[in-house]
A and B are shown apart, each in its own frame.
Chain A
Amino acid sequence: MITYAVRRLGHALLVLWATFTATFFLLYVLPGDAALSKAGVGGDGATLSPAELVRVRADLGLDQPVVGQYATALLHALRGDFGTSTQTGAPALSMYVEAIPETLKLAGSALLLGLVAGTGWALLAAWTRWRFLRQALLALPAVGVSIPTFWIGLLLIQVVSFRWQLLPAIGNDGVRSLVLPALVLAVPTAAMSAQILSRSLEATLHAPYIETARARGASRSRVLLRHALRNSVLPVVTALGMTAGHLIGGSVIMETVFSRSGVGAITVRAVNFQDTPVVLVAVVFAAVVFVGVNLLVDLLYPVIDPRIQLRTTRGAGLLRAGVAT
């Protein structure tokens, strides 16, 4: 168990390091000149004299060789210093971290809503006997993942906020402003978990022990809730890491649609201004969430399903659990 945890932790750190490295080289080496965007000149360097340019480059360490720049950046990042934002001059990390609570409210409530709705939907589909309705219930989640969330959001603003004047259309003002974005953000999560759970329930309901339970007189709903659900829920839990990633991506769009502040809004602004330190923080943060959730899920498997034992045989636990999607 301990060996397993240590090995998984090692793998997690490896992925984080690789994410940082890949993103660093993508952002700092591939594109044009960070010194120019720092000086706010954009693509046109005419307004900056050559001497000033040299000074800005030296300030940013851009006159160093690439490997040296990378080593410095990695060392600083390990101490929590991702450089300063080129828009505001504030430390990139703290700028990002300060915005996390607002996004956490949004993504957290969307996760909760999505999981509850998805589970309920899948159970309803499994419980329904009328074939036509059942097919419809099974088919609808596929529609849910095909509809652009920004479109649903804009439609809801038009109807709920403007026509009915029920909820605020934009902003971060209290719970009322959270309802619409959380609802929309929950749609893909609900649709995905409903699909996964339906497939898993389908397999479980064909198991002999279900027949036994029915033969002993347990009602259909009791069999579904007490016997089948617990054995089918594992794939949904496995997908939690991916779900968290979707929520981070989705909150970028939701915060734009509903003009909310938060991590997503900061990311969009950073991309608009080519604010590379903040983009780097955003990518690494998303990887930390994904890796962290997956690590947690892996270690929680035996609690959720006592039949699972974390084996420490070489290689076996390493990848399969880590990248399960």
Chain B
Amino acid sequence: MSLTEQIVPHLEPVHPGDPATAAGAGGRSQPSRRTRSMPARLGRLARQPGLLLAWTVLALVGLAAVAPGLFTDHDPLRPAGPRLTAPSGTFPFGTDNLGRDLFTRVVYGTAESVQAVIIAVLVGLVVGSVLGLLAGYLGGWVDDVLMRVVDVLLAVPALLISLAFITALGFGTVNIAIAVGIGNVASFARVMRAEVLRIKGSAFVEAATFAGIGRLRLLARHILPNTAGPVLVLATLELGLALLSVSALSFLGFGAPPPAPEWGSLVAGGRDYLAAAWWMASIPGFVIAATVLSANRIARSVNRHQVSAF
């Protein structure tokens, strides 16, 4: 046990109404997960440098998505210097074939990529959860039909599902995001269905049913909140995967049209200058890899602790 964890419990406010604290104030040596305070969490975080780094990367990415102007003074669409300059003090990521600052373009592209990832995960989460909820709760032929749909989604690789949706919907970052989200529906549906089946059999649901509660209310108030944990953990795991798929699709050229910066299309743009300007493809690709790694590192720690991300 670390020093912080030994000290911190005593600093916590004691709730007079709480019987547990009132009865055993002296015997309470270890804080439960729920009562662990912020300093203790940060202390644990500091002992995992990898996790700390991952959070830093994601925080920077989030900041760049919200306020790109904080990082750079250049314009992502206008030339800022000579063409194809190697990375240096003035141009940390170098300049591209039109003399635009690559760092600025990566920073301004963040919003587009982050937005696509969030849409993708939300589409997968919402559609998948609804399918899983209906299948698990209603059972019978609804379950059979919906699970066959999930079988189809599992039988075709996610990338091809996405490509089929892009063919139907057309190009663009939002369409890519929706397409990636549909590709993720199957995993959410399966987790949700399994959770609903588990909870449906528990005693408190039986009690609620006997209490004469309506089906919809039972679903919304009693079953849904209890499924949230595993489904949200899956959502964090899907964040990194979604970024991989989104940037792969925009690398293939199905994303925003050329002048707009977006991570995957920046890599694609550098592909024509591999011999002349190594930085044009390598650096945006590195940013994607670092972000995916960070998201996955955090997702794994969330997965391990279920509740606390620290």
Residue positions of A touching B, CB distance < 8 A: 14-16, 18-19, 22-23, 26-27, 30-31, 142-143, 145-151, 154-155, 157-158, 162, 169, 245-246, 248-250, 252-253, 256-257, 267-268, 270-272, 274, 276, 279, 282-283, 286-287, 290-291, 319, 322-323, 325
Contacts and interface: CB of A to CB of B under 8 A. Distances in A.
Nearest to B145: A18
Contacts of B149: 18, 22
25 contacts: A15-B148, A19-B152, A142-B300, A143-B293, A146-B244, A146-B292, A148-B248, A150-B267, A155-B282, A157-B274, A245-B156, A248-B157, A249-B158, A268-B252, A271-B163, A271-B254, A272-B253, A279-B167, A283-B163, A286-B155, A286-B157, A286-B160, A287-B156, A290-B157, A319-B147
B163 A267 contact: yes
Contacts of A283: 156, 160-161, 163-164
Interface in B221-236: none
A291 B293 CA distance: 31
B133 to A, nearest CB: 19
A210 B35 CA distance: 42
A325 to B, nearest CB: 7
Given A148-B285, A276-B167, A319-B147, A287 B251 contact: no
Nearest to A273: B167
A151 B164 CA distance: 24
Contact of A18 (B151, B163, B170, B292): B151
Contacts of A150: 248, 251, 267, 285
Could you tell me the dominant secondary structure of chain A's interface residues?
helix
B286 interface: yes
B289 interface: yes
A286 B275 CA distance: 35
B278 A23 contact: no
B159 interface: yes
Contacts of B163: 252, 267-268, 271, 279, 282-283
Nearest to A149: B248
Q: Which of A162, A250, A286 has the most CB of B within 10 A?
A: A286
Interface in B14-42: none
B203 interface: no
Given A30-B168, A146-B293, A274-B167, A287 B267 contact: no
A31 B168 contact: yes
A237 to B, nearest CB: 17
A319 B170 CA distance: 35
Nearest to B284: A151
Interface string B279-310: 00110011011001100100010000000000
Interface string B123-164: 000000000000000000000000111111011111111011
A26 B168 contact: yes
B293 A253 contact: no
Interface of B: 147-152, 154-161, 163-170, 240, 244, 247-248, 251-254, 267, 270-271, 274-275, 278, 281-282, 285-286, 288-289, 292-293, 296, 300
Contact of A252 (B159, B161, B296): B159
Contact of B274 (A26, A162, A253): A162
Nearest to A322: B151
Contacts of B247: 148
A66 B292 CA distance: 42
* Across the A-B interface, the 10 shortest Cβ-Cβ residue pairs: A151-B285, A249-B159, A245-B157, A249-B157, A287-B155, A31-B168, A146-B292, A290-B155, A146-B293, A30-B168
A26 B152 CA distance: 13
A208 B251 CA distance: 50
Contacts of A26: 164-165, 168
A26 B253 CA distance: 21
Given A27-B168, A147-B289, A154 B148 contact: no
A261 to B, nearest CB: 16
Contacts of B150: 323
A146 B157 contact: no
A323 B293 contact: no
A155 B274 CA distance: 9
A271 B166 contact: yes
A5 to B, nearest CB: 18
Q: Which of A154, A169, A246, A287 has the most CB of B within 10 A?
A: A154
A27 B167 contact: yes
Given A249-B158, A249-B160, A267-B163, A151 B151 contact: no
Contacts of B161: 283
A271 B270 CA distance: 22
A154 B282 contact: yes
Contacts of A267: 160, 163
A271 B254 CA distance: 9
Contacts of A245: 155-157
A271 B248 contact: no
A279 to B, nearest CB: 5
Nearest to B151: A15
A151 B244 contact: no
A14 B267 CA distance: 40
A253 B253 contact: no
Q: Which of B166, B170, B252 has the most CB of A within 10 A?
A: B252
A155 B148 contact: no
